[in-house]
Amino acid sequence: ARLTYNYFRPGGVSRDLPDEFIPKCREFVSKMRRLLPEYDALFTENEIFLLRTRGVGVVSAEDAKDYGMSGPNLRGSGVAYDVRKAEPYSIYDRFDFDIAVRQEGDVLSRYLVRLQEIRESLKIIEQAIEGLPSGKAIYKLPPVFKLPEGEVYHHIESSRGDLGCYIISDGSPKPYRLKWRAPSFISLQALPKMVKGWKVADVVAAVGSLDVVLGEVDR
C-alpha cells in the first residue's frame, strides 16, 4: 500500500497492531463476503455491461506472454501464473488459495478474474489473522556498515501484477543501479493491439480493464 510503505522495517514492523484492528478486520471480511453477490449481480448480470465488455479488447495467451503482461491481465488470458504460487515468498506457501484464471482474454474476463481474486484475498486475510504470531513487533538486527558488491532481483505479486526490483551494488552506501519493473507500464503496451478495429468508446473499457496506474506508467 502506497500510504503504509514505511510500516515494514528490517526485523519486523514499526509498531504492533492496535487492539481494535483484528475485530475490525474480521468485520470487514464478513461484510465484504456478504456484499460480493450484490456487486456480482450488479455487473455480471447487467445486459448493457456484458454487451460493452464481452469480446472487447481481446488479448490472446501468446500475446499476453509476448508483451510480458502479468497479474490479473495475464490470468484473464488463460495463463495461470501467480508469483505467490510459482515462487512463494514471505509466508504465502502457508496459505490455501486458488489462482483466479479465465480463458477468454477480453474485458469481461479481466473483470471476472479480479472479482474472484477478491474472494481469494478474503480467504488469505482470514488465514493470516488465524496464524498471527505473538511476540515482539520488531527485532533489532546487527548494523551493516559495509555493503557487499553484487546484484539482486526480487519480485512480488502486487495487485496489478509482477512488481520487481533490480539492484546493483558497487559496495558504496548507495545503489550503483536500481530498476523497477512496474506491471502497469508493461500491460499498457498491449493496448494498441487490443483496440485496433474497435470504436473509440471501447478504448475506455479496454483501459479500465487493464487497471493501470498512471504514476507507474509515467517515465
Q: Which range of residues forms the domain containing residue 197?
A: 5-217
Q: Which cell goes with 118?
A: 477478491
Report pLDDT digits (tens) over 107-140: 999 999 999 999 999 999 999 999 998 888 888 8
Cβ(149)–Cβ(170) below 8 Å: yes
Mean per-residue pLDDT, 206-217: 92
Nearest to 110 by CA among 37, 207, 19: 207
pLDDT for 147: 85
pLDDT for 141: 82
Alpha helices for the chain (secondary structure H) = 21-44, 47-53, 61-67, 71-75, 83-86, 107-130, 183-188, 191-195, 200-210, 214-217
pLDDT for 46: 95
C-alpha to C-alpha distance for 119 and 98, rounded to whole angstroms: 10
pLDDT for 191: 96
Mean per-residue pLDDT, 146-156: 94
- CA end-to-end span of the chain: 21
Q: What is the CATH number of the domain that holds 183?
A: 1.10.645.10
- The yes-or-no verdict on residue 144 having pLDDT over 80 is no
pLDDT for 2: 67
pLDDT for 10: 85
Mean pLDDT of the chain: 94
pLDDT for 7: 86
pLDDT for 1: 59
Segment among 67-76, 143-152, 206-215 with least mean pLDDT = 143-152
User: How many domains is the chain built from?
Assistant: 1
pLDDT for 219: 61
C-alpha to C-alpha distance for 81 and 141, rounded to whole angstroms: 35
- The yes-or-no verdict on residue 216 having pLDDT over 90 is no
Cα dihedral sign, 102-105-108-114: positive
The SS3 call for residue 166 is strand
> Residue 118 CB: number of other CB atoms within 10 A?
14
Report pLDDT digits (tens) over 42-99: 999 999 999 999 999 999 999 999 999 999 999 999 999 999 999 999 999 999 999 9
